Amino acid sequence: MLLMEKYEQAFNIQPDPLVAHPISLVTMNEEYDVYTDSPLEQTIFTLIRLKIPEATGMSVKELLALPTYELKMIYRSVKKAKIIEGEIANAIT
The tens digit of pLDDT for each residue in 42-54 reads 999 999 999 999 9
**Could you report the per-residue pLDDT of 2-17, keeping only the tens digit for each?**
676 677 667 766 655 5
pTM as predicted = 0.57
What confidence category does residue 1 fall into, taking pLDDT thresholds of 50, 70 and 90?
low
CA angle 74, 86, 62 (to 5 degrees): 25
Question: How far is 43 from 34, CA to CA, in rounded Å?
Answer: 15
Question: How far is 90 from 34, CA to CA, in rounded Å?
Answer: 30
6-20, 29-43, 47-61: range with highest mean pLDDT: 47-61
Mean pLDDT computed over 34-61: 90
Question: How far is 23 from 1, CA to CA, in rounded Å?
Answer: 12
Question: How far is 14 from 17, CA to CA, in rounded Å?
Answer: 8
